[in-house]
Structure 1
Amino acid sequence: MAQRWSVDRVVAAAPDSASEVAGRRLASPGPWQGVGVDEDLLWGECRGSGRTPYRVSVDTAGPRYKCSCPSRKFPCKHALGLLFLWAQGQVNPDGSVRPPAGAGFAERATGPEAEASGRTPEQLAAARQRAERRADRVTGGLIELDRWLADQIRGGLARAATDPYGWAEPVAARMIDAQASGVANWLRRLPGVIASGPGWPERLLGELAGLHLLARAWARIDELPDDLAATVRARIGFTVPRADVLATEPVRDRWVALGVRDLEEEQVSTRRVWLRGQRTDRWAVVLLFSANGAPWEMPLLPGTALDADLHFYPGRPPLRALLGESHGSAEPVQGWRIGGDDAAGAARAYADALAADPWTRQHPALVTGLVGVEDRRFALVDETGAAVPLTGPEEVLWRLLALAPGVGVTLFGEWSDAGLAPGSIVDGRVRPL
């Protein structure tokens, strides 16, 4: 009998976050019938919108996945739902139950290629063709984007203010067609820049310059160093399979969760969980996703630490990571003394991050100083007298002032062009704001 997969391993097999969320929704006995497992072979039938249920099977030794649904994703949400069901202990071995004969159920994988990739040569060739077609679509879309950017500069930015939400929407929709979702999301954030108050034309020009730089970087993607090319692909909207990330060399440390930041979207919201290694002093960020208001699944709560392996995505600077194997349970942080930078040191670290990734918008920082407020403008003043503007919701800033009135404090936060958005106080323990 094969060892049952963990939920984390099923998550790692998902081709993207949307498939993971869809698979979790199917991880209940309700839509399933004829479910069974025998040694390495897992099978079942999942009811869909049609009269005929989808036949699903997984050879967990390969792994190999087979489903009669029309999805081109690999594995599909039905295979993931069956794996989640199994990982949760809801599929029990029964030697009297056999997989139904006929099309739609896989044989056990054999041969070195099946063991290596879980895909047939035909599937691998089809995947390469899909990748080539997508690259062509992205190239065509970004050529059009660059032309549109040039038109905006020639025509002046004032017209953007006459219709902030309709101004860039046609080209954003074109980026969706070109499978450049990251660029589309960037364009749809521009109305917020236009509405940001005095000085918006300068800020909008900076955003358009960033888009132009991204389009030019894609045009020369084959000439870029591997880590920078990975960053460009990520900014455009390409994803790296979780399984590929988890196959990289892990970094083991006792990782402290310093803070979270939520980005609300219409359908899928994103949460950034910032971590710091106590032994390596390395930063990391784990991204979580919630579809349609589903509850967050937090691997670490702010103020706790976990001895665990992290696997880092390609890119520079290498910050985004996946949580791998844990070596114990999360515990509250106690007695952790770590010094913060002054304003100049934090600014240099942000400048280094920008040099590595010109499209970055925030960078983690630990900064030490006194919290003050004047004319409802908050600042952190370091020992040299340099002031760092504090940004974020006023209720968070007033709470910070109440917790650290007139005393030196080390703050964790996200450093950006606007200043420091504080997330927690670090004083031997981590106190989230």
Structure 2
Amino acid sequence: MNITMIGTGYVGLVTGACLAEFGHRVTCMDLDLGKIERLKNGEIPIYEPGLDVLVAKNVKDKRLRFSSDMADCVPSAQAVFVAVGTPSSRRGDGYADLTYIYAAAKDIAKHLTDYTVVVDKSTVPVGTARQVQRIIREENPEADFDVASNPEFLREGAAINDFMRPDRVVVGTDSAKAREIMREVYNPLFLLSTPFVFTGLESAELIKYAANAFLAMKISFINEMATLCEEVDADVVDLAKGVGLDGRIGSKFLHPGPGYGGSCFPKDTLALLRIAQEHGVTARSVEAAVEINSAQKARMVKKIRDALGGNEAGKTIAALGLAFKPETDDLRESPPLSILPPLAEKGAIIRAHDPQAMKEAKKLYPNFIYVENAYEACDGADVVVLFTEWNQYRALDLADLKAKMKGSIFVDLRNVYSPKQITDAGFTYYGLGRK
């Protein structure tokens, strides 16, 4: 099958490469000429483990190519996926900005010839697929097409595995013909007995938001429990295990941290709230999750400040991890970049390391000191703060780390280490919800 992917960002590039691996002929299209040229030259613009190998393999096998011209790739496609950005509106009201979605719909309409399924892959509010349908019909009344909603559920750092072995595939469409095309797109997953949810357009759009909001609520819940554990002398690790073993609840996302971040949870929870409000519905649990997450980041500022005796001026903070999670270079809404700047504004010196995210971080915060490894970050530091649980931070030589520091404070915001490990190494320990 010929497939066109509009947008070569995180979702578009991963999805395009994986569909090519399924055996389809895929063209990834983007209006950014520089990005397309880099991709043609073998340069991957994002960090995702294994993506470079997958792209190179399918380019070599002539199943994957790149283009900046819709006329070159839309007319021959049986399915055109739209995977462009839907950031929060610049107005700051939480609504998703659908400018790129609607612009893509207009451009696609001009080049439709034979029957085509136009697939919304981007995360979009309820009703967007209907609007895309309307726009295409207005732009090209003679077009033979259907619209489908096929939300992505890709975790950064594990996206290829998530695509190849998904928990489920959700497809929303009103058309039996479009449903058959989508079955053909995902035929390898049918052969693996992957669960499929075929539903209407609105249900598919809402499933994505509801799933992300539920996970955000789970994170906010365990962060609140961690705070309560600190007050009553309980241990949140034991609490999470005891709760997570309940089959109705499960252990995933019951790990306290400095707050959720990334490209999905922050904007999707806000967008869901706006959708609810627009339809006169309350979503109190989601509102609470958003408020708790914001408060958690502020609480982490206070935790670090308190660990330093209440005054960070002139103190050096070794920051381990800048990305919002391991195995990605994504800094969008990353907790460290909400927590460190207020400390720097009050006079703290930031020595930072991250295995992948420092290049982008330097553009945002050039006044931070960026170093080559965790041990160099700790040179002369008063406190070391573990923000992101990269594998290379999980087995640090704590004695060597402490020897390089001026102080002896270890703030573990991911509970990677046990309190005993840290105190046995001579540190004063600060974790989340731990004795």
Greater strand share, 1 or 2?
Answer: 1
Greater relative contact order, per chain length (Cα 8 Å cut-off, separation 6+): 2
TM-score of the superposed pair, with normalisation by structure 1: 0.28
